[in-house]
Amino acid sequence: MQIGLIGLGKMGGNMAERLRRAGHDVVGYDRDPAKSDVGTLKELVERLEAPRAVWVMVPAGGPTQATIEQLGALLSAGDTVIDGGNSNYKDDQRHAAELGTDGIGFVDVGVSGGVWGIEYGYALMVGGEDEYVHRLMPIFEALKPEGEDGFVHAGGVGAGHFAKMVHNGIEYGMMQSFAEGWELLEASDAVTDVPGTFKSWRHGTVIRSWLLDLLVRALEEDPDLAELKGYAEDSGEGRWTVQAAVDHAVPLPAITASLYARFASRQDDSPAMKMVAALRNQFGGHAITSVEGQHAKGADSPGADVSPPAETER
């Protein structure tokens, strides 16, 4: 099958290579001329035979919106656009409606697999009408892992990215749990081989997983993680998952806490913790640490006013 693929970065480039290994004809376009088979999106469309299929693998938001708008002006009725980036499911619904006015199909695909997908395959969560999904099955079969699992037609337009959003929210919670467990093991005097402890969990335990395998790999490369700074970005799906939970009145305490933990990681000197320290000092006389790193007197030390507020009318 022939397909156009826009965005040949780490994921897109590897996906194009996996498709070619499976015998598909891939016409790739990237802003980097060294990676591109064509010089423009117009040339990419002209190289494809109708009905065309164009897979977009660019950053979510503005870049995806601009690319799909350009494709809408170049493609014809019967063609299909596939958004394989980490777009918001609500954007999918808008894109499908806009392209649909010209008879152009739209399919959204949540893709998981990272840099390892080229060898082991990509988990694909697909949203869209049956007609377009069925037409693209040879591409999906080439990209997915071998076997029965690794692919789902999750529902209509937006379902693929909604499923991927929840997948990434779960991933946030799992990573946070592993991270907290590692920190506690490191803080304890009882456990002297922390990397070995995690490695022992890889087989025979209920928490064995690919994330655990990657954690062990990271500790083998840097046992104390001394080369890393405690800063973690969020790519957007975690926020969208929490917002969707609010919209549907579904409690997500673990995933929400893991998202907030990433926010906290970006603060060298947390403003909220400053207030917590100040309040603990006020009501309990707990010592506080100044900016210079020196301990200041507690609220109940000599000279401090610890008088309770005047009785108020109840």
Q: Cα separation of 136 and 128, whole Å? A: 11
- Helix, strand, coil shares of the chain as percentages rounded to 5? 50, 15, 40
Residue 12 lies in a domain: yes
Residue 241 lies in a domain: yes
Half-sphere exposure of 74 (CA within 13 A, CB side): 20
Residue 273 lies in a domain: no
Q: Flag whether pLDDT at 313 surpasses 50.
A: no
Tokens of 18: 């996996």
Residue 304 lies in a domain: no
φ and ψ at residue 169, rounded to 5 degrees: -65, -45
Judgement on whether residues 130 and 238 belong to the same structural domain of the protein = no
Contact 220, 195 (CB under 8 A): yes
pTM of this structure:
0.85
Residue 161 in 3-state DSSP?
A: helix
The total domain count for the chain is 2
Residue 270 lies in a domain: no
What average pLDDT does the chain have? 89
- Pick from 53-67, 250-264, 293-307 the range whose average pLDDT is largest: 53-67
Q: Cα separation of 244 and 120, whole Å? A: 31
- Domain of 214 in residue numbering reads as 164-265
Active site members:
164, 171
Judgement on whether residues 74 and 204 belong to the same structural domain of the protein = no
φ and ψ at residue 93, rounded to 5 degrees: -65, -35
Chosen domain end from 156, 185, 207: 156
Least confident interval from 88-97, 127-136, 137-146, 298-307: 298-307
For residue range 192-229, list pLDDT tens digits in order: 999 999 999 999 999 999 999 999 999 999 988 888 88
Judgement on whether residues 139 and 45 belong to the same structural domain of the protein = yes
Judgement on whether residues 149 and 9 belong to the same structural domain of the protein = yes
Residue 142 lies in a domain: yes
* Residue 239, domain CATH: 1.10.1040.10
